[in-house]
Chain A
Amino acid sequence: MDAVESPERRAAFEARIAAGEVIEPKDWMPEGYRRQLLRMMSQHAHSEVVGMLPEGNWITRAPTLRRKIGLLAKVQDEAGHGLYLYCAAESLGVSRDEMLDALHDGAARYASIFNYPTLSWADIGAIGWLVDGAAVVNQTLLAKCSFGPYARAMLRICREENFHRRQGYEIVATLARGTAAQRAMVQDAVNRWWWPTLMMFGPPDAESANSEALMRWRVKRQSNDAQRQWFINLTVPQANAIGIELPDPELEFDAESGNWKSGAVDWDEFRRVLRGDGPCNHERMAARRRAHEEGRWVRQAAQAFEARRRTRAPREISTTPRREPAHV
């Protein structure tokens, strides 16, 4: 690929985007487009992987077998989402080793939502319903983004996210019609997760540094505020249906726009958590590094096994997986 970024090339690229064409990894692209996509896809991949930690915390303590198999399957899905996204990012020539190094060295970011703790079982319901619900909004739009590998990964992910959202909502709805203690527990979980979930869509449009270029390049199909509004409109009726209160006294339906207007988000908190001062930043990174280091022997053993098999005599390499037992 020729790296020269002439005005003509740029104009031709912008014209392709405007015509709704999909950009593939080997196509010429402006350095800014490539850099933004790498940043978004690797951050997104890291978020899927780190996002397994708060939920993994509750797998062994799920209250019933039904809940346990559901949560286990969801967390496994998230590992797969990480894999899809790392592979999409690798199509731009950066290896997964490099991306993981950046995560473990603290140079890369992941979604700040995962720096909040899961204090009770009800948090697992709140995460599935709200956090995965917010992810569905964002990812449905990304499935139509202009970069082919990212859009295709998102399409696969979206198909799986609906199960995540529904298993979360089922947990919340069940607790919401339970005992007084269960109702209090689930309301407390929603109170804690609501605002951080709204922050997932990123800073308000006026302060969003990358938004303008990302919208023009059709990487982003809707602004942060528009996505946030869409999510709020979807979620309020779901909360009302099960008697859950959203912790926003200013939340009000605006008949003129058809939108649920919310109160102000505490963006100072968002920036604080993003900077590394959230309740669990340190714990999450330590757990991620430990998991990586504890998995090293598995990767090395797989390589050693492969290397040894490669040096064996060719007759021992068979296309059938197992040899017939010898006749005696």
Chain B
Amino acid sequence: MSERKPGAESTPPGDSQLPLFEVFVQEKSGAAHQHVGSVHAADAEQALQNARDVYARRGALLSLWVVASDAIVATTPEDSPCFFDPAPHKIYRHPQFYHTPQGVKNL
């Protein structure tokens, strides 16, 4: 095998680390699936197997999801302030805005 010079191309065409998938696991019954990391795989089935091998090595998991990373649509930090307007002036969205006669309970 020949020595390579720094900067030389070492990944030939047709070889790659394969597409990226995001991994979500459910640890307890009733819990939401949580993002734990990513894996590379040729397809979703292989991604599931790789995710199992890496993220389910210890302890029981109930369920595993993989999602192609480029299928995830996300907000950008720049958009966040207006996108997630907390609307503090819309107090009518909260129960305290509404009055109940004195003495009425469980409401």
**Interface positions of B from 59 to 73, Cβ below 8 Å from A:** none
Beyond A84-B54, A299-B15, A302-B42, 17 additional contacts (C-beta under 8 Å) are: A1-B76, A24-B77, A83-B37, A83-B54, A87-B38, A100-B11, A101-B9, A105-B6, A153-B37, A289-B4, A290-B1, A293-B1, A302-B46, A303-B16, A303-B42, A306-B46, A321-B45
| Complex Cα spacing A327 to B37, Å | 43
Within the complex, which residue of B15, B36, B42, B76 is in contact with A296, where a contact is CB–CB below 8 Å?
B15
- A87 to B37, Cβ gap below 8 A? yes
A104 touches B (CB below 8 Å): yes
Q: 9 closest A-B pairs (Cβ-Cβ)?
A: A302-B42, A306-B42, A306-B43, A96-B17, A87-B38, A107-B6, A80-B54, A104-B10, A101-B10
B residues sitting closer than 8 Å to A (CB atoms) are 1, 4-11, 14-18, 20, 36-43, 45-46, 54, 57-58, 74, 76-78
Known pairs A107-B6, A107-B7, A300-B14; A309 contacts B37 (CB<8 A):
no
Tell me which residues across on chain A come within 8 A of B9, comparing CB atoms.
Answer: 101
| Complex Cα spacing A156 to B16, Å | 26
| Complex Cα spacing A105 to B18, Å | 20
Within the complex, which residue of B18, B46, B77 is in contact with A28, where a contact is CB–CB below 8 Å?
B77
The tally of CB-CB contacts under 8 A between chains A and B is 82
Tell me which residues across on chain A come within 8 A of B43, comparing CB atoms.
Answer: 302, 305-306, 309
- B16 to A106, Cβ gap below 8 A? no
A268 touches B (CB below 8 Å): no
A66 touches B (CB below 8 Å): no
For B48, the closest partner residue in chain A by CB is: A321
For A27, the closest partner residue in chain B by CB is: B77
Within the complex, which residue of B5, B10, B40, B42 is in contact with A96, where a contact is CB–CB below 8 Å?
B40
**Cβ of B33 to closest chain A Cβ, rounded Å:** 16
Within the complex, which residue of A76, A96, A104, A290 is in contact with B4, where a contact is CB–CB below 8 Å?
A104
**Cβ of A291 to closest chain B Cβ, rounded Å:** 11
| Complex Cα spacing A26 to B38, Å | 17
A123 touches B (CB below 8 Å): no
A residues sitting closer than 8 Å to B (CB atoms) are 1-2, 24, 26-28, 76-77, 80, 83-84, 87, 90, 95-97, 100-101, 104-107, 152-153, 156, 160, 286, 289-290, 293, 296, 299-300, 302-303, 305-306, 309, 321
Tell me which residues across on chain B come within 8 A of A293, comparing CB atoms.
Answer: 1
**Cβ of A310 to closest chain B Cβ, rounded Å:** 8
- A303 to B18, Cβ gap below 8 A? yes
Main secondary structure of the interface of A (DSSP, over half): helix
Tell me which residues across on chain A come within 8 A of B11, comparing CB atoms.
Answer: 97, 100-101
- B17 to A95, Cβ gap below 8 A? yes
Within the complex, which residue of B7, B38, B57 is in contact with A80, where a contact is CB–CB below 8 Å?
B57
| Complex Cα spacing A305 to B4, Å | 31
| Complex Cα spacing A2 to B77, Å | 11
9 contacts between A and B (CB under 8 A): A26-B77, A87-B37, A95-B17, A97-B17, A105-B5, A289-B1, A303-B14, A305-B43, A306-B42
- A286 to B76, Cβ gap below 8 A? no
- A105 to B4, Cβ gap below 8 A? yes
| Complex Cα spacing A103 to B62, Å | 37
| Complex Cα spacing A251 to B46, Å | 52
Residue of A2, A28, A95 ringed by the most chain B CB atoms within 10 A: A95
**Cβ of B72 to closest chain A Cβ, rounded Å:** 12
- B8 to A77, Cβ gap below 8 A? no
**Cβ of B51 to closest chain A Cβ, rounded Å:** 10
- A26 to B4, Cβ gap below 8 A? no
| Complex Cα spacing A2 to B76, Å | 11
| Complex Cα spacing A171 to B74, Å | 48
For B74, the closest partner residue in chain A by CB is: A26
Within the complex, which residue of A2, A299, A309 is in contact with B18, where a contact is CB–CB below 8 Å?
A299
Tell me which residues across on chain B come within 8 A of A27, comparing CB atoms.
Answer: 77
Residue of A80, A83, A286 ringed by the most chain B CB atoms within 10 A: A83
Tell me which residues across on chain A come within 8 A of B36, comparing CB atoms.
Answer: 156
